[in-house]
């Protein structure tokens, strides 16, 4: 039964009262109710169960009154037996109603959580890559967990509690007033004494709970940062175990201390509630007992009033703070809606068509691009540090670029760091849309084709290819879920990694570890190339795929790349001489512009920026190759 326990009375006071001043966005309530439509019948049935259960609250005390005032004085054993059976039957019925209502509450709540989580997950994964470069992963997870759970309470505990407490308050109050309005009024005079400690200690607990959450967050952040592979590696290389343990113990000590303070505050609260409840019971017995002696009140009525008294204060105190409970749930909904309302920057046009396989000519037509600001792609509430933008809105990364890559050609992009090379490759994969101009594949503007079909035709290998914490097989099948075993091994052979995988005890079922850290850099790159080959794209984009590899791994990766690039249109951010010399055309990018274009020999003959880069960056590598 709702509202009958001290915990129910206390629960409403632990929420953040600041939500009382919160102004909800227009249309929030309408959107909230739209989620209820899918659970209309279960919600109605749930509320009916709560109403029935609330009405049963008064049945047992009234039966107590009858058995004391009527059955026992008349020595009617049969009536005593019937009433006792009725009390037992009501208890069983109340228990069954509690089980059914809890089952329905869980079904409604978990159903809502499922719908919200899947909707938020689907929406977030469609955001542009710029969103993920700014948003904090933990904040996103919080929206999927904490705020979704808060929203769920609006349809379960909050809604059920309000209905149940209102019905209980009306039925219990009316019954007590009918039995004895004098005792009812007298008992209500103690209500302020009941609510004062709840509000005082509730406010203190609210502050302590927030501090405990902050301390827990700091402790969890240290664990999360130190216990992932990259963080653990940094800790092993530069860290001091004693210092790390000391830092953690200090955080854990604050959590421990706060837990003790919260525990004692809870003890003070419940002690005060029990004390005031006992005073109220003493008051009722004092007034009612004298009334029984005077003959103005029956003993059964006194027992019924005492039993009902315990079911009166809980609903009153819970309803006194119901606005905070409701607003807390609605604010959680609004925080979820905040994410759902953030529109992805890269979306399919309403009339987008599929890009046919085989389309491979890439064209840049007067393309300019600037990276979006935080306000355009993200939410400040999802960023751990959201500083004001200092970059001007017209700061272009690419400026009026035009070039074509014909089917089967290999084009190399070279230039100083920050010139815009990786940005060009990102536009080909449509990780971003150009600010002006068009990027086309097979004569189709990328804005006019579906992203799904584009990603089937374009394959990308980056400098640090990511692997999920799963098996080799799962990471490869991510590119082609229906690939056969032979297709997987063929891709591995072409990527020069089959021998290494065959030598592993678990073969393709070997777990690669977090971000693929159980593999060497060269192995991870070759596995990424195998994944690319399994996908069999028409256009290949390589963003410094051989950077930071030793000579042995570089040669293996280059062999793998020769298979990956064979017969495909390729755009390569060049790092090694062999890739540059094999290019049909080299584009020299500087400050977002194409300053030179031509073959390796042509550009060297011009003695321009390319020749300068070659002499400064590639000459030493070239000499090593000649020596070897």
Bridge partners, residue 364, by sequence: 403, 439
Q: Where are the alpha helices (DSSP H) in 126-228?
A: 129-134, 137-142, 148-155, 157-179, 181-188, 191-227
- Mean pLDDT across 552-558: 69
358-406 pLDDT, tens digit each: 888 999 999 999 988 877 877 776 775 545 444 444 589 999 999 999 9
| Structure-token match 């009725």, residue found | 86
Residue 217 CB partners (closer than 8 Å, separation 6+)? none
**Range with lowest mean pLDDT among 123-127, 146-150, 616-620:** 616-620
Task: Output the CA torsion sign for 272, 275, 278, 282.
Answer: negative
Torsion of CA 190, 193, 196, 198, to 10 degrees: -90
Torsion of CA 152, 153, 156, 161, to 10 degrees: -170
166-205 pLDDT, tens digit each: 888 888 888 888 888 888 888 877 777 766 766 666 667 6
Distance (Å, whole) CA 285 – CA 240: 67
Torsion of CA 197, 203, 205, 208, to 10 degrees: -150
Residue 202 has a pLDDT of: 60
Residue 424 has a pLDDT of: 94
Mean pLDDT across the chain: 80
CB 42 within 8 A of CB 107: yes
Q: Where are the alpha helices (DSSP H) in 295-373?
A: 299-309, 313-320, 322-340
Residue 436 has a pLDDT of: 94
Confidence band for 327, pLDDT divided at 50, 70 and 90: low
| Structure-token match 């929030």, residue found | 28
Residue 621 has a pLDDT of: 54
Distance (Å, whole) CA 515 – CA 528: 12
Distance (Å, whole) CA 325 – CA 309: 24
Q: Residue 1 pLDDT more than 80?
A: no
For the chain, domain boundaries: 6-340, 365-387+394-463+538-627
- Mean pLDDT across 604-625: 72
465-490 pLDDT, tens digit each: 788 888 999 999 988 888 999 999 99
Residue ranges with strand state E in 554-592: 569-573, 585-590
Distance (Å, whole) CA 424 – CA 543: 10
Residue 586 has a pLDDT of: 93
Residue 454 has a pLDDT of: 92
Q: What is the CATH number of domain 365-387+394-463+538-627?
A: 3.40.50.300
- Mean pLDDT across 37-58: 84
Distance (Å, whole) CA 570 – CA 563: 12
Please report the DSSP string for 400-430 in residue order: EEEEEE-TT-EEEEE-STTSSHHHHHHHHTT
Q: In what order do the strands lie in the sheet with 362-369?
A: 398-405, 362-369, 436-441, 444-445
134-173 pLDDT, tens digit each: 777 766 777 777 777 777 776 677 777 777 788 888 888 8
Radius of gyration, alpha carbons of the chain: 35
Residue 238 has a pLDDT of: 67
CB 385 within 8 A of CB 363: no
Q: Which two tokens stand for residue 604?
A: 């060297």
CB 302 within 8 A of CB 292: yes
The fraction of the chain above a pLDDT of 90, given in percent, is: 16
Q: What is the CATH number of domain 6-340?
A: 1.20.1560.10
Higher pLDDT among residues 550 and 33, named by residue: 33
Bridge partners, residue 536, by sequence: none
- Mean pLDDT across 247-275: 81
Q: Residue 2 pLDDT more than 50?
A: no
Rounded-to-5 percentages of helix, strand, coil across the chain:
65, 10, 25
Residues present in the chain in total: 628
Confidence band for 31, pLDDT divided at 50, 70 and 90: confident
Confidence band for 14, pLDDT divided at 50, 70 and 90: very low
CB 256 within 8 A of CB 180: no
- Mean pLDDT across 430-447: 94
**Range with lowest mean pLDDT among 57-66, 159-168, 570-579:** 570-579
Bridge partners, residue 570, by sequence: 410, 540
Confidence band for 15, pLDDT divided at 50, 70 and 90: very low
- C-alpha count within 13 angstroms, C-beta hemisphere, residue 226: 18
Q: The whole model's pTM is what?
A: 0.73
Whether the domain at 6-340 and the domain at 365-387+394-463+538-627 fall into the same CATH topology: no
Burial of 27 (0-12, 13-18, 19+ CB in 10 A): exposed
Residue 575 has a pLDDT of: 65
Confidence band for 236, pLDDT divided at 50, 70 and 90: low
Residue 16 has a pLDDT of: 44
489-538 pLDDT, tens digit each: 998 988 888 888 898 888 899 888 877 778 887 888 888 888 888 888 99
Q: Residue 106 pLDDT more than 70?
A: yes
- Mean pLDDT across 428-434: 92
| Structure-token match 């080909």, residue found | 428
CB 533 within 8 A of CB 493: no
Burial of 386 (0-12, 13-18, 19+ CB in 10 A): middle
Distance (Å, whole) CA 606 – CA 582: 19
């Amino acid at each position: 039964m709702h509202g009958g326990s001290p915990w129910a009375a206390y629960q409403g006071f632990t929420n953040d009262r600041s939500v009382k001043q919160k102004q909800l966005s227009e249309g929030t309530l309408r959107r909230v109710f739209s989620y209820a439509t899918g659970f209309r019948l279960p919600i109605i049935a749930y509320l009916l169960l709560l109403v029935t259960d609330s009405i049963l609250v008064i049945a047992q005390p009234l039966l107590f009154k009858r058995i004391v005032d009527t059955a026992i004085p008349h020595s009617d054993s049969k009536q005593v037996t019937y009433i006792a059976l009725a009390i037992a039957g009501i208890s069983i019925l109340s228990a069954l109603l509690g089980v059914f209502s809890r089952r329905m509450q869980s079904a409604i709540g978990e159903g809502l959580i499922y719908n919200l989580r899947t909707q938020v997950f689907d929406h977030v994964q469609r955001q542009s890559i710029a969103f993920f470069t700014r948003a904090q992963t933990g904040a996103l997870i919080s929206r999927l967990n904490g705020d979704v759970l808060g929203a769920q309470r609006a349809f379960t505990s909050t809604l059920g509690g309000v209905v149940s407490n209102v019905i209980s308050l009306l039925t219990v109050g009316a019954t007590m007033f009918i039995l004895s309005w004098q005792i009812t009024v007298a008992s209500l005079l103690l209500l302020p004494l009941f609510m004062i400690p709840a509000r005082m200690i509730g406010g203190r607990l609210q502050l302590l709970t927030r501090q405990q959450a902050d301390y827990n967050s700091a402790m969890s952040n240290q664990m999360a940062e130190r216990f992932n592979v990259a963080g653990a590696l940094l800790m092993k290389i530069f860290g001091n175990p004693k210092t790390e343990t000391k830092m953690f113990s200090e955080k854990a000590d604050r959590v421990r201390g706060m837990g003790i303070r919260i525990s004692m505050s809870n003890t003070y609260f419940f002690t005060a509630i029990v004390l005031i409840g006992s005073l109220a019971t003493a008051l009722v017995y004092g007034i009612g007992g004298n009334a029984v002696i005077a003959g103005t009140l029956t003993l059964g009525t006194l027992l019924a009033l005492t039993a009902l008294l315990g079911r009166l204060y809980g609903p009153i105190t819970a309803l006194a703070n119901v606005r905070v409970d409701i607003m807390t749930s609605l604010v959680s909904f609004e925080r979820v809606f905040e994410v759902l309302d953030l529109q992805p920057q890269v979306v399919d046009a309403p009339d987008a068509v599929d890009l046919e396989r085989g389309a491979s000519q890439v064209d840049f037509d007067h393309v300019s691009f600037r990276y979006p600001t935080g306000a355009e792609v993200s939410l400040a509430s999802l960023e751990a540090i959201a500083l004001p933008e200092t970059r001007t809105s017209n700061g272009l990364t690419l400026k009026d670029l035009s070039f074509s890559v014909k089917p089967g050609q290999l084009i190399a992009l070279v230039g100083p760091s920050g010139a815009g090379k990786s940005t060009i490759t990102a536009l080909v994969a449509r990780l971003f849309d150009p600010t002006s101009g068009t990027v086309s594949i097979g004569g189709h503007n990328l804005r006019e084709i579906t992203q799904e079909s584009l990603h089937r035709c374009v394959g990308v290998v980056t400098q640090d290819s990511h692997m999920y914490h799963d098996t080799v097989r799962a990471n490869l099948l991510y590119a082609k879920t229906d690939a056969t075993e032979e297709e997987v091994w063929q891709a591995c052979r072409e990527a020069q990694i089959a021998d290494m995988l065959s030598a592993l005890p678990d073969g393709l079922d070997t777990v690669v570890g977090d971000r693929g850290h159980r593999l060497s850099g060269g192995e991870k790159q070759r596995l990424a190339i195998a994944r690319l080959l399994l996908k069999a794209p028409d256009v290949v984009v390589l963003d410094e795929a051989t950077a930071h590899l030793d000579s042995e791994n570089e040669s293996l990766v280059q062999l793998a790349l020769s298979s990956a690039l064979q017969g495909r249109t390729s755009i390569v951010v060049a790092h090694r001489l062999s890739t540059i010399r094999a290019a049909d055309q080299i584009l020299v990018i500087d400050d977002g512009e194409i300053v030179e274009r031509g073959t390796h020999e042509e550009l060297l003959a011009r003695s321009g920026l390319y020749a300068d880069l070659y002499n400064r960056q590639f000459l030493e590598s070239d000499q090593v190759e000649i020596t070897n």
